[in-house]
Amino acid sequence: MFGSLLPVTRAILLANIAVFLLQQITGVLLLELFALWPVGDELFQPWQLITYGFLHQGVLHIFFNMFALYMFGSPLEEYWGGRRFLFYYLFCVVTAAATELVVENATRVSQPVVGASGGVFGLLLAFAWYYPRRRLMMIFPLPIPMPAWLFVTIYGAMELVFGVTGAEEGVAHFAHLGGMLGGALSILYWRMRGRFGKS
């Protein structure tokens, strides 16, 4: 499995798994230090804008995030190169964190955030941007194959609805949207600079 991944994608995936295993040993210590806590909370630290993206709550949480990284990471790393791919992924993690903090401040919701979903949603957006006609499978409500651009459009719309309505408590939907926003800003900036246009 890991042998088919390009180096940066593999490194990110293995780092997430290693940190998850370390979480099982340290209990809440890593969460207190490296989860994304609301600004104003005594546990908040600037480095959490990145470190939260390597922590997960539960096996299913890390499984689905790492599965998405496995599926979409290498094609994008091959397209951009490792350095650009790493910048893109981490930028999406940071914009996801910033978006979630802004929303939490506006709604006066105070809860820590963990997970690679911000970076993963950025990868989803980029995959749909560069490979719009590739077929992906929407599992819920029915297993229907569809082009990547439609899959990501529907997924993003669902995240917006869930975030606005407050459905699925405990899920940082606006962090997901923030990851997509960071991805879109990166791609648009590169296109303005005449680099990495749509193929």
Per residue in 70-121, pLDDT (tens digit) is 999 999 999 999 999 999 999 999 999 999 999 988 877 778 999 999 999 9
- 3-state SS, residue 135: strand
User: Which CATH number does the domain housing residue 15 bear?
Assistant: 1.20.1540.10
Q: What percent of the chain has pLDDT over 70?
A: 93
**197 in any annotated domain:** no
Whether the bond between 141 and the residue before it is cis, its omega within 30 degrees of 0, is yes
Q: Which two tokens stand for residue 13?
A: 């995936």
Range of the domain at 102: 2-192
Q: What is the pLDDT of residue 198?
A: 44
Q: Which positions ≥6 away from 21 have C-beta within 8 Å?
A: none
- The rounded distance, in Å, linking the Cα atoms of 183 and 179 is 6
**33 in any annotated domain:** yes
Number of domains the chain is built from: 1
